[in-house]
Structure 1
Amino acid sequence: MANNDTMMQYFHWNLPADGTLWNQIEREAGNLAAAGITALWLPPPNKGTSGSDVGYGAYDLWDLGEFDQKGSVRTKYGTRAELEAGVRGAHAAGLRVYIDVVFNHKGGADATERVRGTPVNPDNRNQTVGEEREIETWTVFDFPGRGDRYSSLKWRWWHFDAVDYDQLTRSIGTIYRLREKGFDTPVGGEFGNYDYLLFADIDMDSEEARADLHAWGEWIVRTLDVDGFRFDAVKHVRSFFFNEWLDALRRRFPAKAFFSVGEHFTGDPATLGRFLEQTGQRMSLFDFPLFFNLRAVSHGNGSFDMRNLVHNTLVAQSPERAVTFVSNHDVFRHPDRDDVADWFKPLAYAFILLRDQGYPCVFYGDYYGTPERTSHRVVLDALLAARRDHAYGPQQDYFDHENVVGWTRLGDDGHPKAMAVVMSDGPGGDKTLFVDRRNAAFRDITGHITDTITSDGNGSGVFRCNGGSVSVWVEV
């Protein structure tokens, strides 16, 4: 992006449920802005199935920690007043604020009701596997703590199209399509139709449901003055709904662009491209294909061909719509299986932060660390400063070796210093890189190598890195 914007996902799944995150944002906003962060992605601010719910078990979008519901007034992260203060603090520090939005489902219903439902094949939801029958569903949402404040809609089974639990038989796992309902389209194509994910799946054919979500969008902007959105589970929601929702909000608030990014969990860039087409380029997407490449390198013991690091990725296909990342709240929960290996994270962050393409997102757990995981804050602060101050101008790639790769950034009028990056997933090595600076000294801002390198009279230098490491050489 033109100003080298950098987002931070400001939460992880296992944060303590102590109600302190919103206060932490207010305290930390100035430090984050000084480090080079320009926007914060906050977790779902709504009340979930309990006071410890991360927010994705969305119970009441209209309760931001204001009403005594689901066992507490506050959410996992704090009260509504603390949330508003945190957002004000972020804005005062010059940070934009994006909130996580869950439109796919509702969880934690207040009561059950009887309705007829048809079981479907979980591997092909277009096929029924039994007769329509009476089931008892958790689809009554009365919001007794909030009442009619902000919204008077009480949700019932007809606002949903499917569930996977029948209270009558106490059986979970069978997906029931509710009476006279069909799955929404277009959605992800896995399992025939991937509309249903979990809990009570919102039916985007319901005019009442859509109207409530539209009203909530205007209310949340007026309440928090947010600058954008991260949409959860977009491949499970009718893609055209995002078009109507974003268009209506942008008409209502023409001074705001509302940057938006969707979580479409797939490694296939063609599938991501189709979603971008369906939504008319109205939002960006997280670059899961690049994430899978980074993860493969990190677990490959040097066998991954680094020349292919950017191949078949969203950032290669649609760089203006790619949000690049190294870890997130989901994969962080299963580090040995799902996450980028810890040793490779400095390399991966150098890749997403110091290149021209994509909008990078730094993960809270990697920056601050957790009781179980390492903090990479020292190297991340160095990389963030390099992005803020030096990652500008023409980029020249040197992806010509299976282990040692690099690139240069040649600067611009406002940022005149050149930069060269070299990394290896195997043995250390060097590369001759053109930096367009003659007889200029460069130092490695990561501190991995302490020597100074001087370019030659033709504007090139032999820049190196240690084994399994990255060095970022900046003109002195």
Structure 2
Amino acid sequence: MDRLNKLWSVFNSSHDSTALSPLDTMDLGPTKNTENPVMIQFFTWDCKHPKLSWWRFFEMTVPDLESLGFTQVWLPPPHKAMRKTGNGYDAYDLWDLGEFDQKGTVATRWGTKGELVHAVAVAKQRGMDVIIDAVLNHKLGADQREIFMATPVNPKNRMDEIGPSRTVEQGWTRFNFPGRGSKYSTLKWTHEHFTGVDWDHTTKKRGIYRMTNKSWSPRVDDEHVNYDYLLGADVDHNHPEVAKDLLSWGPWALQTTGANGFRLDAIKHIDRRFLQHFIQHARQATGRPQLFVVAEYWCPDIKRVMFWINEYRGLTSFFDVPLHDNFWHASRSGSKYDLRKILDNTIVSLRPGDAVTFVDNHEFLQQIGQSLQSWVSREFKLHAYALILLRDKGHPCVFFGDLYPNKECYDAGTAYGLRILLKTRKNVASGPVTDYWENASYIGWVRRGQGHKICAVIISNADPASSSEPHMIRMFVGKGHDHTTFRNVFTPHSPGIKVSKDGWGSFTCVRGGISVWTLASNIVACV
């Protein structure tokens, strides 16, 4: 049995299937009676409004977000970056939310602290919680150089030393925060607070250098044997001063901004024990046991992902990266992909109470055109969104880049269709799902709730040139709808479909397309 199968065995043997899942215990919006909670990632990698700060733009967009049914908004890292235009993943000072003159600016890329606090308050008034991005793995943009001993290691095997320990004039490990001083936090970071760096200023060589008196954390992902180091100055979460500072920052950031939870960046590189403590402390210190947390563990391998889910014991939900990977493969393969397998080996199929489902996000915008890209194509994007928005499992997250105009990835047709799907989710989708997955090239399902809340969905990846005849699936929508007309929300003025007395209807979809059928009386609310 190989290593991954051993991990899988550990998960299966230790998992308690009766335990409450994270999505059962965390707030997915301001109210617990929200039937169809949904999150939006309100940024792209390089987004910038031409006239307003991003926080002001977010505030102005709140009414539209409310109309589309969003209950949560995930905002980008709010802290000061190493560059004036940095988006926050190049973390410099977590305690500066756009308040101090540092790195050539008071405001962050996104705006000032005051604008952020006001925008969050407006969102909460309109029924939306705000989630902030916590970048705890690394720091960049240090204020001074330092001299210390470090050991070069093999980038493909971080436990393999490839040279002797040497004196490194690295340059970027001392953080004095001259603009902020000691307000909020007195910690001044030095090389003692890090485990590794990626630059030897003495030899002008890039590489991975482990501090000679430090070890990588053993409680990280085992890619490259040990994946503690990612980039910049790698934070030593086992250093008591570091742990104290970051544990204090979590509750302070929530209370200062008014936010209701965290998206945890790059958790495969962070000591698991520390992050477990971070989550628990944030909930205890704020008095919010239902505080929402979602973790980014970037790996399409479901066995690895499930091992990590087991390690966190319900403390956090996880982005369903294996599901995104299925969407990507389906979009690349076209009619060759068997749609009946679209949910196979995903978090939402195996542990739906742990799954934050998504189609695309900011990570891929750096990769378009590169060998690592996994961007879901326009031809399959609405199909994928239907699978996360119009079903009853998982907690869906919509990407700003797919919904609002931007220079990186916007497609007007996708945005128009996505708005229809969101309104359908808000106003029509309800109750459990019944699947009709009998054909490799087209699948259907019905979500049937109380009263008039009902939708029947078909998606197809068949080649439109293969035939002019539409697909047809006979699906049960419930008795009491006999002789009632169902219409497709994407073509509301086209002929409808009548349902028989026994509650069955023959629903259609063009080849390669998507159709969402609901009662004719519901159409106005969906479009």
Q: Same fold (TM over 0.5)?
A: yes
Q: Does residue 464 of structure 1 match 2:497?
A: no
Match of 2:383 among 319, 334, 347: 347
Q: Distance in 2 between matches of 1:308 and 1:23?
A: 42
> What's the offset of the Cα at 1:464?
1.1
Q: Distance in 1 between matches of 2:491 and 2:406?
A: 24
Q: Distance in 1 between matches of 2:493 and 2:49?
A: 41
Q: Distance in 1 between matches of 2:448 and 2:362?
A: 35
Letter of the 1:159 counterpart: H
Match of 2:202 among 155, 168, 174: 168
Q: Distance in 2 between matches of 1:39 and 1:17?
A: 21
Aligned to 1:409: 447
Q: Distance in 2 between matches of 1:151 and 1:406?
A: 55
CA 1:197–1:20 in structure 2 vs 1: closer, same or farther (change >3 Å)? same
Q: Does residue 433 of structure 1 match 2:475?
A: yes
Moved more, 13-22 or 150-159: 13-22
CA 1:48–1:272 in structure 2 vs 1: closer, same or farther (change >3 Å)? same
Aligned to 1:366: 402
Local SS of the residue matching 2:335: coil
Match of 2:62 among 25, 29, 39: 29
Moved more, 366-375 or 131-140: 366-375
Contact map agreement 2:442 2:459 (CA 8 A) in 1: yes
Alignment size in residue pairs: 473
Aligned to 1:242: 275
Local SS of the residue matching 2:333: coil
Letter of the 2:91 counterpart: A
Letter of the 1:351 counterpart: L
Aligned to 2:313: 280
Q: Distance in 2 between matches of 1:371 and 1:202?
A: 34
Local SS of the residue matching 1:11: coil
Local SS of the residue matching 2:384: helix
> What's the offset of the Cα at 1:248?
1.2
Match of 2:243 among 210, 213, 221: 210
Local SS of the residue matching 1:139: coil
Q: Distance in 1 between matches of 2:76 and 2:336?
A: 36
Contact map agreement 2:429 2:453 (CA 8 A) in 1: no
Aligned to 1:8: 40
Moved more, 69-78 or 445-454: 445-454
Percent identical among aligned pairs is: 39
Q: Distance in 1 between matches of 2:209 and 2:285?
A: 38
Please list the CA deviations of residues 378-432 of structure 1 after superposition, one character each: whole Å capped at 9, or x if unmatched.
21221111111222112111122111001101113xx533210001011441211
Match of 1:379 among 417, 420, 427: 417
Please list the CA deviations of residues 223-267 of structure 1 after superposition, one character each: whole Å capped at 9, or x if unmatched.
012111101001110112121111112112224521110111000
Local SS of the residue matching 1:99: strand
Q: Distance in 1 between matches of 2:49 and 2:460?
A: 39
Matches of residues 84-163 of structure 1 in structure 2 within 5 Å? 84-137=117-170, 138-163=172-197
CA 1:391–1:187 in structure 2 vs 1: closer, same or farther (change >3 Å)? same
Contact map agreement 1:404 1:426 (CA 8 A) in 2: yes
> What's the offset of the Cα at 1:73?
0.8
> What's the offset of the Cα at 1:333?
3.5
Q: Distance in 1 between matches of 2:492 and 2:148?
A: 64
Task: State the TM-score, normalizing by the size of structure 1.
Answer: 0.96
Q: Distance in 2 between matches of 1:358 and 1:224?
A: 27
Please list the CA deviations of residues 187-227 of structure 1 after superposition, one character each: whole Å capped at 9, or x if unmatched.
11100011100000001110100100011112112201211
Letter of the 2:132 counterpart: I
Contact map agreement 1:97 1:227 (CA 8 A) in 2: yes
Moved more, 145-154 or 432-441: 432-441
Aligned to 2:104: 71
Please list the CA deviations of residues 253-306 of structure 1 after superposition, one character each: whole Å capped at 9, or x if unmatched.
224521110111000122111112211111011111100111111111211111
The 4+ residue runs of structure 1 with deviation greater than 4 A are none
Match of 1:388 among 422, 426, 432: 426
Q: Distance in 2 between matches of 1:317 and 1:238?
A: 25
- CA RMSD, 1 decimal: 1.5
Letter of the 2:514 counterpart: V
Q: Distance in 2 between matches of 1:92 and 1:264?
A: 32
Aligned to 2:252: 219
Q: Distance in 1 between matches of 2:421 and 2:493?
A: 15
Q: Distance in 2 between matches of 1:256 and 1:277?
A: 20
> What's the offset of the Cα at 1:342?
1.2
> What's the offset of the Cα at 1:17?
7.4
Q: Distance in 2 between matches of 1:240 and 1:434?
A: 49
Aligned to 2:393: 357
Q: Distance in 1 between matches of 2:148 and 2:49?
A: 36
Contact map agreement 2:134 2:263 (CA 8 A) in 1: yes
CA 1:17–1:178 in structure 2 vs 1: closer, same or farther (change >3 Å)? farther
Contact map agreement 1:17 1:77 (CA 8 A) in 2: no
> What's the offset of the Cα at 1:448?
7.6
Local SS of the residue matching 1:64: coil
Q: Distance in 2 between matches of 1:391 and 1:17?
A: 33
Q: Which runs of 5 or more structure 2 residues have no equivalent in the other structure?
A: 1-22, 24-33, 464-469, 521-527
Please list the CA deviations of residues 78-100 of structure 1 after superposition, one character each: whole Å capped at 9, or x if unmatched.
11111111111111111100000
Please list the CA deviations of residues 433-453 of structure 1 after superposition, one character each: whole Å capped at 9, or x if unmatched.
111134232111122882201
Q: Distance in 2 between matches of 1:447 and 1:77?
A: 39
Contact map agreement 1:4 1:388 (CA 8 A) in 2: yes
Q: Distance in 2 between matches of 1:179 and 1:246?
A: 30
Aligned to 1:305: 338
> What's the offset of the Cα at 1:185?
2.4
Contact map agreement 1:332 1:338 (CA 8 A) in 2: no
